[in-house]
Structure formats: structure tokens, C-alpha cells
Amino acid sequence: MKFDTSGLESTASVFGTAGRELVDGFAAAAPPAFELPVTKDFDGFQKEAVQMVKPAKGTTTLAFIFKEGVIVAADSRASMGGYISSQSVKKIIEINPYMLGTMAGGAADCQFWHRNLGIKMHEVQLARLPGEVGSGSCSTGLVLTASWLLDLCDICTYIFSLCRLHELANKRRISVTGASKLLANILFSYRGMGLSVGTMIAGWDETGPGLYYVDSEGGRLKGTRFSVGSGSPYAYGVLDSGYRFDMSIEEAGELGRRAIYHATFRDGASGGVASVYYVGANGWTKLSGDDVSELHYKYYPTVSTEASESDQMVEA
Amino acid sequence: MARYDRAITVFSPDGHLFQVEYALEAVRKGNAAVGVRGTDIVVLGVEKKSTAKLQDSRSVKKIVSLDDHVALVCAGLKADARVLVNKARIECQSYRLTVEDPVTVEYITRYIAGLQQKYTQSGGVRPFGLSTLIVGFDPHLGVPALYQTDPSGAFSAWKANATGRNSNSMREFLEKNYKETSGQETVKLAIRALLEVSYFLSSGCTFEFIFHKLPEHA
């Protein structure tokens, strides 16, 4: 993929606003788009395409804002229908020192995206930030579920590169609002083309902690608690009932861990390792990565019952 | 040298772009404008030649706002200024739309300078015949800023600067008398800089000033 530097151009060109009478060196940045397939029944094709994606969306991810910052947590299972293709998918990915990316989907896609992203970040690691401009730092945790097509991986690479380019051009980190808006605009341009993406962007910027939910319909919501994926109803149950704004970092991390565990317990498409990250004023740190089957015995330890002891006595 | 000022895409043998330099000449004939940056305030001032008797002076505004927190004054061709300001205003709103944040002064200056540069490297167009002074406050940090652009597309930040007619004298005055000031002191410095050169001009000219103070909610 040719590295698209249209992110460096004025944002006006994205919306095709006035001022194009001049023959300029910059091509008007058309939004990225697939070539539409030629079929008799496009609606049916779209429906099939979406159905194909659905099994690959098995996941549980969540994020919430509390007093100290943001907690981002996810499972690590990739499944295709009834087949578990991987138990060790990294759904929260460290893109660069202040940005987190999380996702689920086809394992091969994930690996491609991860490698691709690393390469791209290497390419754009042109300059170091000269001293801190703002008082806070921005860590953007991107929770992306169900990256399906390779083109979607390119979108993610593109959006993260856009964030980095923004930082290089403006000498300050992009805000959570800005990063989520960029992603939402890109996903909107792919609307109706069969992408199935539910993302959360979480971070800490100059205005404090921020959390946005962005999906493949192009929708974008600002909020304080989100969970995305097939296991999200279960996660919401634990998260909503245990949530308090003034928790400590450990308590909040434990809440996230417990919510993911309970989702993996009940949802067949979620499992593996429950990773919990914390995003604060100084950036993100990984709090824990626990195998959910071990968490099970931690939360519900097996107790030897009285009945078996009395059985033994009878036999004797 | 006459051969090298037709199509601006051609360099002269000694490395000049003559059209750009002629544009700077047009700037030097424009009205005097001054900008001063204080610790909590930015001031822009421009002299207005006395308007004709029948002209509605209210329709002649030389200082324009690009957004709530950024203002600009140009010296040079007024019609070019209108085109440039319109594009800059659109860019301010477009930026707000895509990033949900107001522009920084540096960003919009870079955009305007980029526009001016574009017109020095394209076929069949001439450069904008104006230099601008752009002032404003950083929307998040509340830091005041003053920038200048010129027809070549170069831009830089300044503590105080002048452009247009007699800009050299004004700049000398500013260099001699500049101190870190705030509030009314900064305004007075800008006024004195303009008075320095307009004393020699025809009577009846007025000044137009704008000053931004640090917004409280910053």
C-alpha cells in the first residue's frame, strides 16, 4: 500500500469545500473506497458479506472513565463460528508510546495489521517531540473490534498514521476527540460496504480523560462507560453494577478484569486472556493479563464439601 | 533581467523569483499595520487613509476575524486579502469540524502561508500581493501569539512586527522600545508605533485597532 499522505493536506479538502479552481500539486483527497462488486443483487450480496463477518466479531472489550483516568480491558479469543482459531489475540495493541490499539478479528488480519502498523510507525518516527508543549500528555487507547478485511487494517494503520502526522505537524498530540473524529469520518466513508467495526477510543489529553465509541455505521458517541462485542451484555452487567466514579486504580482495574471474566464465562466467543490497561495523565500502563480460566478459580475457588467426607465415613 | 519576470515558475540566474519580489513591492505600498504581543494581550493596529466624503467608512474594515480567537490584518492588495481571508475562514471551520477543536494560531498561519506559497509554484497564477499579521490565543493553553506571513509563503512568529508602508521605521521603533508588557501598555506601544510613521502622512487618517485579551475560561 502506498503510504497516503493526504492527512498532511488541509482538512478542507476532505469535505470537498471551495477553492479548487487552482491546478494544484495536491490531489483532492477523495475518501478511501472499495470498488463496488458487479452483481445482480447488491443488497443480497451486502447481507451475505455482513453475515460472513458476524462470527468473527466474537469478543468482549470494555472501557470506562473514573476519577483517576480510563480503564481499557479486552479478552483475547478469536473464533470462527464454533472453532476457536486463537486464544492469544492481542486486542489491545500498543501503537506508539501514547496510543493504544485494540481489535479482534481474523488472526491473520490481526498479525498483518500489527506488523503493518509497526512498519508504518517506524516510517513516521521522523522526529522526536521537542519538549512538552502541553501540560498533560495524550494517550489514546484505541479499542477496535472485528477488523475484518485487509483494507480495514489499512484504515487502522491510516488513522494511527494520521494521528502521528497531526502530532508532527502541530507539535502537540492529537486530542481524543480529534482521533475519534478522524476514525469516525473514515468509517463513515466505508458505510454500507460491509465493514463491521465497533471501536472505543480512550485516552488522556489536555482536557483530561476522554472516551468515545465509534462504529462502522459512522456513529460516534461520547461517554463514560462502553462495552463492545458479543460478550458485552455480560460485561455491562458486572460493570454497571460495580461502577463508582471514585475508585482507586486497583479497584477500577479489578472491576474491568471481573467484567471481562464474567463475559468470557458466559459468552462462547470470548475467552483466553483478560488484559487490563490503565490510561492516566502520564500515559498508559498494562495493569494485568490473566488467563480467564485461572481467574475462574480465583473468583470461585473449589471447596471440598461435607457430603464427600461423610460418604467416606459410611464406607469405612 | 526582464526575461525572468513573466512566468513566475522560472528562477532567475541569481536565484530570485521576481514575481514574488514585485509582490513584496506591492506590500510596501499598502497601508501601515502593526502587531504587538503582550503577556496577556495581543494588539493589531492599522492606519486607514481618510475615506472619500461619499464613501461609507463603515464598510471599510481592515482588521478581520478568522474565528472567535484569531484576527488578521493585511497590507497590500485588498482584493487578494478578501480571497485569502475567505479561504482561511473556511479552513478554521473545517478544522473545527474534523477535530472538534478550534485552530491554533500557528496552524492557521501555516495554512495561509501554504496557500501563498502554492501560488508561487503554479502555472498561470500570480502570488498574493499581501503580507498578513495574524494574532490570537492558543485555544487550550491561552498563550498569546503573533505571526507574520509574506507573499513568498514564509511565516514566523514575532513579539512585535510591522508591515506595509514605512514598516522599516516602525520595526526600528519597536525594536528600540519593545518590552514585555501587558494590558494597556501593549496597546500604547502599538499606538505609538503607528503614530511614529503616520505623523508624516496626510492629516485625517484614522486608525483601527483590535486587541484580544486572554479569555477568562482559558
**A86 by DSSP, 3-state: which?**
strand
Nearest of A34, A33, A26 to residue A5 by alpha carbon: A26
| Contact: A170, B106; criterion CB under 8 Å | yes
Question: Alpha helices of B46-160 — where are they, by DSSP H?
Answer: 78-99, 105-118
* Residue contacts between A and B (CB atoms, under 8 Å): 66
Nearest-angstrom CA–CA distance, A63 and A227: 6
- Residue B206 has a CB neighbour count (10 Å cut-off) of 12
Alpha carbon distance A182, A163 (integer Å): 9
Q: State the amino acid at position A29 in one-letter form.
A: A
Q: Which of A19, A172, A181 sits opposite B100 (nearest CB)?
A: A181
Q: Give the A-side interface with B, CB within 8 Å.
A: 10-12, 14-15, 17-19, 22-25, 133-135, 166, 169-172, 174-175, 177-178, 181-182, 185, 206-207
**What confidence score (pLDDT) does residue B206 get?**
67
> What cell was used for A301?
475457588
Give the chain B residue nearest A21 (alpha carbons). Answer: B125
Q: Catalytic: which of A5, A11, A17, A59? A: A59
Residue A103's region, left for phi above 0, alpha for psi from -120 to 50, else beta, is: beta
Q: Which helix (H) or strand (E) holds A150?
A: helix A150-170
Asked if residue A30 lies in contact with residue A14, where contact means CB atoms within 8 angstroms, the answer is no
In terms of DSSP bridges, do strands A139-145 and A99-102 run parallel, antiparallel, or are they unpaired?
Answer: parallel
Which of A6, A8, A10 is the best mutation test for B, with the most CBs of B within 10 A? A10
Q: What percent of chain B has pLDDT over 90?
A: 51
What is the rounded CA–CA span in Å between residue A135 and residue B119?
Answer: 38
Residue B217 has pLDDT above 70, yes or no: no
How many Cα atoms within 13 Å fall on the side-chain side of residue A208?
Answer: 6
Helix (H/G/I), strand (E/B), else coil: B75: strand
Phi, psi torsion values for A116, nearest 5 degrees: -60, -45
The pLDDT of residue A121: 41
Q: Is A207 a catalytic residue?
A: no
CB of B149 within 8 A of CB of B134? yes
**Interface touch B122/A18, C-beta < 8 Å:** no
Per the CB < 8 A criterion, the answer to whether A157 and A32 are in contact is: no
Nearest-Cα residue of chain A relative to residue B101: A178
Cβ–Cβ < 8 Å for A64, A106: no
The answer to whether the CB of B134 falls within 8 A of the CB of B146 is yes
| Cβ atoms of B100 and B93 closer than 8 Å | no
Contacts of A266 (CB under 8 A, 6+ apart): A231, A234
Distance to chain B for A7, nearest Cα, Å: 12
H or E stretch including A139?
A: strand A139-145
Chain A CB contacts of B110 below 8 Å: 169
- Which residue numbers in chain A have pLDDT < 50? 1, 11-29, 55-56, 104-152
pLDDT at B202 over 60: no
Q: A151: distance to nearest CA of chain B, Å?
A: 22
| Interchain proximity B106–A19, CB inside 8 Å | no
| Identity of the residue numbered B147 | Y
Taking the CA of residue B180 and the nearest CA in chain A, the distance in Å comes to 21
Inter-residue contact A56 to A216 (CB < 8 Å): no
Question: Which band of pLDDT confidence, cut at 50, 70 and 90, is reported for residue B5?
Answer: low
* Average pLDDT of chain B to the nearest whole number: 86
pLDDT score recorded for residue A120: 41
Identify the pLDDT of residue A133.
Answer: 28
Point out the residue among B97, B99, B118 whose CB comes nearest to the CB of A22.
B118
- C-alpha span between B40 and A271 (Å, rounded): 56
CB within 8 Å: A25 and B122: yes
The residue with greater pLDDT, A18 or B3, is B3
Q: Which residues does B87 contact at the CB level (< 8 Å), separation at least 6?
A: A18, A19, B112, B115
Higher pLDDT, A262 or B9: A262
Q: Average of pLDDT values for B40-59?
A: 82
- Give residue-wise pLDDT tens across range B118-169: 998 887 788 999 999 999 998 888 899 999 999 999 999 999 999 998 899 9
pLDDT at B58: 75
Look up the ipTM and state it. Answer: 0.72
Of B7 and A279, the structure prediction assigns the larger pLDDT to: A279
- Kindly list the residues from chain B whose CB atom is less than 8 angstroms away from the CB atom of residue A171: 106
